[in-house]
Amino acid sequence: MRSVPYVTLNDGQTMPQLGFGCWSFSQDETTTVILSALEAGYRLIDGAFMYGNEAQMGEALRASGIKRDDVFLTTKVWNSDHGRTKTRASVERSLKSIGVDQLNLVLIHWPAPMNDLYVETWQTLIALKKEGLIRSIGVSNFNADHLERIINETGEVPVINQIEINPALQQNALRAACTARGFVVQAWTPFGKGRSFDSAPIRAAAARTGKSPGQVILRWHMQLGNATIPRSANPDRQADNLNIFDFELTKDEMAAIATLDEGFRTGPDPLVFGAD
């Protein structure tokens, strides 16, 4: 396994390009799963209040013996916590639950545009960053119009937009809009629940490189410039997901994978998700 590269965010902070996602892990398993990931070499742990396992994130970090400054911690503000008062309470609750004095990154989990509170939520994150409770602030599942609105109304540019990206949902236009604005695109569900594993381009690249379909897809993300947060409770799979820095996909292989885009979402549409 080679060292995971870091990307520089537009506020000067640095973040591992490849991290570990905590969605769907139960409270009973989360501490063990994250400890295993940290032992494998992950140094970015991506959580959220909605996942229900923030306390276990903190338990794993303390049990690992790794210095706090060496682990990049992300959490998110859920849809029901939008608005000035609730957003502040959400961040303070996450700090307490995880047991840290400062979070590396806090994201607005979804824009929930029908509630029309995401600008106010963004303004609150800006204030919390100025107070030193958060180092960097960003968004998740924001479309281009949502991004333009928060930037135009506050002057503050997110450091990342965490969105669903995989070979079957490549989101090229949104990725380009983010890149043009100078912030990182971070992919969730980077494998697309395995939808493309048996496709000809992925199989051919895996056969040539001796890698698994999952490793080929993660390498595709890296070469596109995406950051990403795969997740697995299996220690061997965790290690395999890090073992993607000893090979490269060719231009032809990248072009072939580009043809797999079919606009297929495994998660909800940001335009309609998040109504109370």
- 42 carries an active-site annotation: no
The helix (run of H) or strand (run of E) holding residue 188 is strand 184-188
At 276, the pLDDT band (50, 70, 90 cuts) reads low
Identity at 212, one-letter amino acid code: S
Mean pLDDT, rounded, for 60-83:
97
| Pairwise CA distance, residues 6 & 1, whole Å | 15
Residue with tokens 């008062």: 85
Domains present along the chain, CATH in parentheses: 14-158 (3.20.20.100)
CA-CA distances (angstroms) from residue 92 to 60, 81, 272? Answer: 20, 12, 28
The helix (run of H) or strand (run of E) holding residue 72 is strand 72-77
CA angle centred on 110, ends 229 and 77, rounded to 5° = 80
Q: What is the pLDDT of residues 93-109, one digit of tens each?
A: 999 999 999 999 999 99
Q: What is the pLDDT of residues 193-204, one digit of tens each?
A: 999 999 999 999
The helix (run of H) or strand (run of E) holding residue 256 is helix 251-258
Residue 1: the pLDDT is 47
Q: What is the pLDDT of residues 157-195, one digit of tens each?
A: 999 999 999 999 999 999 999 999 999 999 999 999 999
